């Protein structure tokens, strides 16, 4: 009983004496678990966003435009097609717009009078962000982004100049409100006007929504099917309308020409006759011009997937799904392995103490319980903090930086509990396996250090590169060679983090937003910073006796600090070189297995620069910390 109490006190004393190390390990677990929970939940939720977001906006599935326009009768033709959910006839016009300061191009578009959310025919719904809707033909709405770009505000006047001055009843428009709309095109900005301001009877565009609102793999085929159905329905009607219009114009031309011929034989006064001839000539020319401009009906179709804003969001969602299926597990493994290895390192450092305890009669369970309890507390605390903190931080980060609206921030307790148990089990299992292995070595009395082989030193001393190194660097490299644990641990860390950073550049294609890449890199580098700092601090603590000896021999503080910094940088360089080579070999294997997978050498170069620069910063931090002690 006394032994158990002393072991428990020793475990708690270990935490009390090394609070900073305990906190750093918790941060590592917090980041890995938090990233896993947050990103996976975002990945699960993001599929619903695409569906819900565009259902609220009631964004069109198909847009149809015709060279000769549509009539109100066409509404019923399309609405009666089975599977069509909503139909909206729209008047639109490309206009020149000017203010007292500038001139620009705008797309004038009519506003639906029935803007109820229950109205399925209200498609590409507007979100009023300020002001109000127009109440007359001389008022309009503008996009919020358009006003900001052109330094305009609600209440300003804009003069519209259509190609045909008779196309609009009101030319001077007062901006009475701003709106946001997901229907944006590459042709520029929109100004929204009441339908009665458009001075013609036909409609330029026709918006259609379908009953199927799921963005599945068959969506494109589904839309194409209805494109053909709409084309099949409208083409005969438009052709008939075209032929009727053409015949009417030809008849009018014939009648006007006959009238002109007859006027010459009329016994009217010359002045009156001349006036009739001039008017008939004008009418004839106008009718001929209208016939010349009459084009054969042509339908132009566009689907929702061709809208830039939709394509952009869909690309982001697809990339987030890709990220959430790969990166969370990588991040969790990196965090768990890093925190476990740092605890395992502590076990190796305490070999002599463990040996003494075994001589005193302590059982293996009592000796290694301290490390298992330490790991358990680190993992449990990290899981709780990570789950509670990052399930909100990551969705908020992507909502703002990734411009992904509507992300859920509700924590999934069952899923979070599962991840926490998995993390704790993995960490405790790794430490337990190390404890069992070390205990077996101690029982066999093979834990003693083997003497260095002289042949290795002789071969090393004869190499050309070795001779070119300074005496200090030779001592440092021999020390690194003797302290194999630090080197192996650093190599594992470099392999893990270099692989994670390379994956960040490789898995995400060129279309993904730069902000998303920065989010991933930021989390990765922060985890790397904490892990490396924890390792280097442990390394310095282990060298206390060596530092004391150097001080006794008369070395200055800055000389000792410089020695440690150089040693750590050698450790980083060797580990980074091995880590990059290992990742390159793994990459080559993956490319052979998956030919579609490709990678650029530039990714490796960027990874080397990032990790080396970060390591240098951490070394400088430890250097200044050492100087202040």
pLDDT, tens digit, 9 for 90 and up, residues 298-318: 888 888 777 666 677 677 777
More confident residue, 269 or 418: 418
- How far apart CA 528 and CA 338 sit, in angstroms, is 9
User: How long is the chain?
Assistant: 629
The whole-number average pLDDT for the span 83-98 is 91
- The helix/strand/coil state of 608 is helix
Report whether pLDDT(161) > 50. Answer: yes
**CB-CB contact of 476 with 566 (8 Å):** yes
Do strands 103-111 and 92-98 pair parallel, antiparallel, or not at all (unpaired)? antiparallel
Tell me what pLDDT residue 27 has.
Answer: 86
Residue 160 parent element (H or E): strand 157-162
Residue of 169, 161, 164, 174 lying closest to 197 (CA atoms): 169
Residue of 103, 95, 110, 116 lying closest to 141 (CA atoms): 110
pLDDT, tens digit, 9 for 90 and up, residues 50-77: 666 667 778 888 999 988 889 999 999 9
Give the HSE-up count for residue 126: Cα atoms under 13 Å, Cβ half-sphere: 25
The angle that helices 484-507 and 601-628 make with each other, rounded to 10 degrees, is: 130
Q: Which residues contact 66 (CB under 8 A, 6 or more apart)?
A: 204, 206, 234, 238, 297, 298, 299, 300
pLDDT, tens digit, 9 for 90 and up, residues 144-157: 888 888 888 899 99
Report whether pLDDT(527) > 90. Answer: no
The whole-number average pLDDT for the span 546-557 is 62
Structure tokens at 557: 């503080």
Tell me what pLDDT residue 595 has.
Answer: 53
Q: What is the mean pLDDT of the chain?
A: 77
The whole-number average pLDDT for the span 180-188 is 66
Cα radius of gyration (the chain): 38
Residue with tokens 């390990």: 25
- How far apart CA 399 and CA 547 sit, in angstroms, is 50
Structure tokens at 171: 């030319």
Residue of 194, 203, 180 lying closest to 70 (CA atoms): 203
- How far apart CA 302 and CA 207 sit, in angstroms, is 10
- How far apart CA 396 and CA 34 sit, in angstroms, is 13
Report whether pLDDT(238) > 80. Answer: yes
More confident residue, 570 or 448: 570
**CB-CB contact of 90 with 207 (8 Å):** yes
The whole-number average pLDDT for the span 280-306 is 83
More confident residue, 438 or 186: 438
- How far apart CA 578 and CA 252 sit, in angstroms, is 87
Structure tokens at 469: 């190194």
Tell me what pLDDT residue 468 has.
Answer: 62
Helices (H), 264-305: 270-293
More confident residue, 485 or 596: 485
Tell me what pLDDT residue 404 has.
Answer: 62
Tell me what pLDDT residue 454 has.
Answer: 45
Tell me what pLDDT residue 623 has.
Answer: 61
């Amino acid at each position: 009983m006394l032994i158990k109490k002393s072991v428990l006190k020793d475990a708690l004393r270990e935490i009390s004496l090394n609070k900073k190390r305990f906190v750093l390990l918790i941060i590592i677990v917090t980041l890995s678990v938090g990233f896993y929970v947050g990103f996976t939940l975002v990945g699960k939720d993001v599929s619903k966003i695409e569906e819900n977001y565009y259902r609220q906006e009631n964004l069109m599935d198909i847009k149809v435009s015709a060279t000769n326009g549509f009539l109100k009768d066409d509404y019923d033709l399309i609405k009666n097609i089975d599977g069509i959910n909503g139909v909206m006839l729209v008047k639109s016009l490309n206009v020149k717009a000017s203010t007292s300061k500038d001139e620009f191009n705008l797309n004038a578009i009519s506003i639906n009078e029935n803007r109820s959310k229950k109205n399925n025919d209200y498609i590409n719904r507007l979100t009023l962000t300020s002001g109000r809707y127009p109440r007359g033909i001389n008022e309009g709405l503008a996009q919020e982004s358009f006003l900001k770009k052109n330094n305009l505000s609600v209440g300003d006047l804009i003069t519209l100049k259509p190609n045909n001055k008779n196309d609009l009843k009101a030319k001077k428009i007062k901006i009475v409100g701003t709106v946001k709309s997901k229907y944006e095109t590459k042709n520029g900005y929109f100004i929204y006007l009441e339908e009665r301001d458009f001075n013609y009877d036909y409609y330029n565009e026709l918006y259609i929504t379908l009953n199927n609102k799921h963005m599945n793999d068959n969506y494109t085929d589904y839309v194409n099917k209805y494109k053909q159905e709409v084309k099949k329905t409208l083409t005969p009607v438009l052709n008939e309308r075209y032929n009727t219009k053409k015949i009417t114009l030809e008849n009018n031309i014939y009648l006007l020409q006959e009238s002109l011929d007859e006027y010459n034989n009329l016994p009217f006064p010359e002045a009156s006759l001349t006036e009739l001839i001039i008017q008939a000539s004008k009418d004839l020319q106008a009718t001929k011009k209208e016939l010349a401009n009459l084009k054969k009906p042509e339908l132009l179709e566009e689907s929702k997937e061709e809208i830039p804003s939709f394509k952009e969001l869909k690309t982001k969602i697809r990339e987030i799904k890709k990220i959430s299926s790969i990166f969370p597990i990588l991040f969790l493994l990196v965090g768990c392995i890093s925190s476990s290895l740092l605890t395992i390192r502590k076990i190796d450092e305490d070999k002599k103490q463990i040996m003494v305890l075994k001589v005193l009669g302590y059982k293996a369970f009592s000796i290694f319980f301290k490390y298992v309890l330490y790991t358990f507390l680190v993992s449990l605390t990290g899981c709780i903090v990570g789950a509670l903190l990052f399930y909100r931080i990551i969705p908020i980060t992507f909502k703002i930086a990734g411009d992904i609206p509507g992300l859920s921030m509700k924590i999934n307790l069952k899923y979070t509990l599962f991840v926490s148990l998995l993390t704790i089990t993995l960490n405790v299992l790794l430490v337990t396996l190390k404890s069992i292995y070390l205990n077996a070595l101690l029982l066999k009395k093979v834990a003693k250090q083997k003497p260095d082989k002289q042949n290795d030193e002789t071969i090393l001393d004869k190499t050309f590169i070795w001779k070119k190194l300074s005496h200090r660097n030779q001592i440092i490299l021999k020390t690194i060679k003797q302290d194999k644990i630090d080197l192996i641990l650093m190599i594992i860390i470099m392999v893990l983090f270099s692989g994670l950073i390379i994956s960040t550049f490789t898995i995400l294609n060129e279309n993904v937003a730069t902000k998303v890449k920065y989010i991933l890199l930021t989390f990765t580098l922060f985890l790397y910073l904490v892990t490396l700092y924890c390792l280097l601090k442990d390394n310095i603590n282990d060298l206390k006796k060596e530092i004391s000896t150097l001080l006794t021999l008369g070395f200055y503080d800055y000389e000792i600090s410089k020695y440690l910094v150089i040693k750590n940088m050698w450790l980083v360089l060797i580990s980074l070189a091995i880590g990059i080579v290992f990742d390159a070999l793994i990459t080559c294997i993956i490319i052979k297995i998956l030919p579609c997978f490709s990678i650029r050498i530039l990714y490796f170069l960027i990874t080397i620069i990032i990790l080396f620069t970060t390591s240098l910063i951490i070394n400088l931090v430890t250097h200044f910390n050492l100087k202040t002690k």
